Amino acid sequence: MRIIPAIDIIDGKCVRLSKGDYDTKKIYNENPLEVAKSFEDAGIQYLHLVDLDGAKAKHIVNHKVLEQISNNTGLKVDFGGGLKSNEDLRIAFDCGAQQITGGSIAAQNRELFLEWLQTYGADKIILGADCMNRKIATNGWLESSELDVLKFIQAYEKEGITNVICTDISKDGMLAGASNELYTEILGETNINLIASGGVSSMKDLEDLIEIGCEGAIVGKAIYEGNISLKELERLC
């Protein structure tokens, strides 16, 4: 299983939220590149970079942070947040993203998201399936929909999506364990590469996700709060 640390960006700084609530913002480092380099030094190869300003603004905002990390580390970055147009996508790839994650766009503009999938291929386009009580949430999780997360994933799997990041918003930033039951259900009903996100609090949580069969796991607050050390992740990697 791939270990994928997360860096969430607001005002160019490395932050974490709880349950996606912008009012719970906690700044962990004012230099995201410094954080990214610490991950790379621990032998980690991947990074999940989220433009929270972009998610709220509905267009890419913190692409300079992406560019800085891409130009100064060897991390393979998947980038999400605020990607709503072809121009947003072009900027993300030009600034060094190896992959992009589309969540809101997939829920709100299916035609454009499928165009991206056809143009760039399934290796470059990740489906973001962020949900609260199984319902897909959009625009920085500030808006909800009536789309069931499993049906949402299955519909895009039929269109060729192979990589999915699924975040249970109720777990995100809470350090209370991942949504194992939901992930088990998704893996039992699809053949996608599932990247678990939200709630990882310990090495035991990561071991459980390996056992379930997740292809990757995104780890955020557990690293920043010291629940999981980079040394431990280095050994697991």
Long-range contacts of 83-87 (CB under 8 A, 24+ apart): 83/54, 84/58, 84/59, 84/109, 85/59, 85/112, 86/112
Query: Do β-strands 125-132 and 163-168 pair in parallel, antiparallel, or remain unpaired?
Result: parallel
C-alpha distance from residue 207 to each of 56, 90, 204, 212 (Å): 33, 37, 5, 9
Which neighbouring-strand residues pair with 197?
167, 218
Q: Of 51, 53, 78, 130, which one is the catalytic site residue?
A: 130
Active site annotation includes 130: yes
Active site annotation includes 8: yes
- Residue 124's Cβ-side half-sphere holds a number of Cα atoms within 13 Å equal to 16
What is the secondary structure of 170-199 as a DSSP string? TTTTS-S---HHHHHHHHHH--SEEEEES-
| In the block, residue with structure tokens 């962990």 | 28
**Joined tokens for residue 37:** 């380099």
The catalytic residue positions are 8, 130
